[in-house]
Amino acid sequence: MNIPLTIKETQDGLKSKKFSAVELVDAYLAQIKKYNSEYNVFLTVTEELAYAKAKEIDRGDKTSHLAGVIVSYKDIFLTKGVRTTAGSKILESYIPPYSATSVSRIEAAGAIPIGKLYCDAFAHGASGENSDFGRTLNPWGKEYVPGGSSSGSAASVSAGMSLISLGSDTGGSTRQPANFCNLVGLKPTYGVIPRYGVISMSSSLDTIGSFAHTVDDIEIMFDVMRGTDGYDSTVSNFKKPNIKNKFKLGIAKEYFIDGLDSEVENMINDVKKTYEKIGIEVVELTLPHTKYMVPVYYIIQPAEVSSNLGRFDGIRYGSARQSFGEEAKRRIMIGSYVLSAGYYDAYYEKAMKVRTKIINDFDEAFKTVDAIISPVSPTPAFKLGANTSDPLKMYLEDIYTTTANLVGIPGLAIPSTFSKSGLPIGFQLLGPRFSEHQLFELGKKYHKEIDYKPKIAL
Ligand code: GLN
């Protein structure tokens, strides 16, 4: 059986009895068994749970939004009764007593959970190489990183080991791995999908990310997961906006920096031409504070990390503090420093003021355009080990992604083409708060025009 690549293909197949849900589990598990030990994608495979749920679907209702859809979770999503490590030895044997809201909602809609995925420990990273359990390889080229921190989520969907996956996006961890693995990835507006039950990294930046092969599927996942749950007080009620039929897009002149790879730059120019061809105007605009994104992010984020990781004190649960990896220790130290008396004003407070200026830049830009076209990362996937000896070099990976988190707006990563060396390249659309459905519409228009066909890597 050919693995279906969309939710619709899955559901049409189930309804017409082309295959059963049990056969779907067989097919995705076969991919996991064949490639997992080589690529390090799943930390835990929930085979029994998957078959139990598949049998239920085969016996009963096949009409719910995600009936029969095989889902995998980054290992920072709490899953009741199933080990959740956050990619760290600190939580090596932690079994949560409840599930995250997003997990419960995805499963209530009929999805079949197949397992928990590798990720950078506590979601700190841009390559998957900060995991305490080993690094994940990119299914499109084994010597390359799959991106991070949701490394396993991207690898799992692109390798045909699950149809959809949940990750998180605090500074790019969904969009960048989606981009390195030829997938659509959504970072939603802050406060639309509840964060309840997802291990906190940086509470003013954390969002729940989705991975799939198509924009249609990301939209279905978004509509299933959004809305208040009574546990995350930052979530507001969300009304689906009316979609316009005339759009105007912008590209910031500040995005064309020195380190931008020429193939990525050419792709951005092609995306512009594609939109113009279908009658959408694209204008140049300015986001003057772009150069402060990474410095501001790397003050605010570690400050919040140093507070959130305080709960892993080795007393209440989890292993002793010595088990923290290098990157977590680095962030705890930087965060404590920027918050300490005497340095707070010079670093944290100043960063918060610049954050407001960055927000103002975007509010200003969205007065004239409906969305902004941007690269996701300056280069296609880089080689394993290329950035591990220099944390600052690794942090520069986040130059195009941290914006959306600092401003609280949605970002949709969209696969476009392949580099000469055969690696995926894509772009992202950034829109005003709560404009997800508008971004979906724009993403679908682009894929329709280039006649995009999803494929799996292995
Ligand atoms: N690469 C960024 C970091 O290491 C983003 C992480 C994330 O979004 N979880 O902080």
Task: Give per-residue pLDDT as tens, 237-272.
Answer: 888 888 888 999 999 999 998 889 999 999 999 999
Q: Residue 282: pLDDT band by 50, 70, 90 thresholds?
A: very high
Q: What is d(CA 157, CA 179) in angstroms, rounded to the nearest whole number? A: 12
Probe ligand 1: pick from 74, 117, 120, max atoms within 8 Å of CB?
120
Residue 255 included in any domain: yes
Of the candidates 131, 173, 210, 377, the residue annotated as catalytic is 173
Range of the domain at 423: 7-289+355-450
Give one DSSP letter per residue of 143-187, joined into a string.
TB---SSSHHHHHHHHTTS-SEEEEEESSSTTHHHHHHTT-EEEE
Which atom of ligand 1 lies at the shortest distance from residue 174's CA?
8
d(CA 144, ligand 1 centre) in Å: 18
d(CA 309, ligand 1 centre) in Å: 15
Percentage of residues in the chain with pLDDT exceeding 90? 94
Of the candidates 149, 156, 165, 202, the residue annotated as catalytic is 149
Residue 458 included in any domain: no
Q: What is the CATH number of the domain that holds 384?
A: 3.90.1300.10
Probe ligand 1: pick from 151, 387, 398, max atoms within 8 Å of CB?
398
d(CA 151, ligand 1 centre) in Å: 11
Contact status, residue 179 vs residue 185, Cβ threshold 8 Å? yes
Would the CA dihedral through 236, 240, 246, 249 be positive or negative? positive
Contact status, residue 401 vs residue 175, Cβ threshold 8 Å? yes
Residues 6+ away with beta carbon under 8 Å from 408 = 189, 190, 191, 359, 433
Q: Residue 134: pLDDT band by 50, 70, 90 thresholds?
A: very high
Answer yes or no: 173 catalytic.
yes
Of the candidates 74, 89, 187, 272, the residue annotated as catalytic is 74
Which atom of ligand 1 lies at the shortest distance from residue 397's CA?
1
Q: What is d(CA 199, CA 254) in angstroms, rounded to the nearest whole number? A: 34
Which atom of ligand 1 lies at the shortest distance from residue 173's CA?
8
- Among 338, 327, 354, 345, which residue's Cα sits nearest to residue 304? 338
Is the model's pTM score more than 0.95? Answer: yes
Into how many domains does the chain fold?
1
Question: Which of 58-67, 69-78, 160-169, 424-433 shows the lowest per-residue confidence on average (mean pLDDT)?
Answer: 58-67
- Pairing, β 248-252 against β 207-212: unpaired
Mean pLDDT within 396-424:
97
**pLDDT above 90 for 316:** no
Answer yes or no: 74 catalytic.
yes
- Among 169, 45, 168, which residue's Cα sits nearest to residue 112? 45
Which atom of ligand 1 lies at the shortest distance from residue 201's CA?
9
Mean pLDDT of the chain: 97
Probe ligand 1: pick from 149, 203, 211, 376, max atoms within 8 Å of CB?
149
Contact status, residue 35 vs residue 192, Cβ threshold 8 Å? no
> Which protein residue's CA is at the shortest distance from atom 4 of ligand 1?
125
Percentage of residues in the chain with pLDDT exceeding 70? 100
d(CA 98, ligand 1 centre) in Å: 25
Probe ligand 1: pick from 173, 204, 298, 334, max atoms within 8 Å of CB?
173
d(CA 171, ligand 1 centre) in Å: 5
Side-by-side strand order, sheet with 248-252? 42-45, 112-117, 70-74, 164-169, 207-212, 184-187, 411-418, 424-430, 371-375, 248-252, 281-285
Which atom of ligand 1 lies at the shortest distance from residue 297's CA?
10
Answer yes or no: 393 catalytic.
no
Q: Chain centroid to CA 448: how far? A: 23
Question: What's the DSSP call for residue 99?
Answer: -
Residue 18 included in any domain: yes
Contact status, residue 212 vs residue 175, Cβ threshold 8 Å? no
**pLDDT above 90 for 1:** no
- Among 38, 169, 57, 187, which residue's Cα sits nearest to residue 113? 57
Residue 305 included in any domain: no
**pLDDT above 90 for 15:** yes
d(CA 57, ligand 1 centre) in Å: 36
Question: Which of 268-277, 392-401, 422-431 shows the lowest per-residue confidence on average (mean pLDDT)?
Answer: 392-401
Residue 342 included in any domain: no
- Pairing, β 164-169 against β 112-117: unpaired
d(CA 172, ligand 1 centre) in Å: 6
Given the structure tokens 């995926």, which residue do they identify?
424
Residue 302 included in any domain: no
Q: What is d(CA 453, CA 458) in angstroms, rounded to the nearest whole number? A: 16
**pLDDT above 90 for 99:** yes
Task: Give per-residue pLDDT as tens, 68-86.
Answer: 999 999 999 999 999 999 9
pLDDT value of position 85: 98
Burial 230-254 (b: 16+ CB within 10 A, else e): eeeeebeebeeeeeeeebebbbbee
d(CA 95, ligand 1 centre) in Å: 25
Mean pLDDT within 286-309:
97
Residues 6+ away with beta carbon under 8 Å from 84 = 75, 76, 77, 78, 91, 94, 95, 96, 116, 199
Residue 2 included in any domain: no
pLDDT value of position 164: 98
User: What are the pocket residues of ligand 1 if the criterion is a CB atom closer than 6 Å to any ligand atom?
Assistant: 123-126, 149, 168-173, 201, 301, 398
Residue 322 included in any domain: no
Q: Residue 159: pLDDT band by 50, 70, 90 thresholds?
A: very high
Neighbour-count burial of 183, counting CB atoms closer than 10 A to its CB (0-12 exposed, 13-18 middle, 19+ buried): buried
pLDDT value of position 237: 86
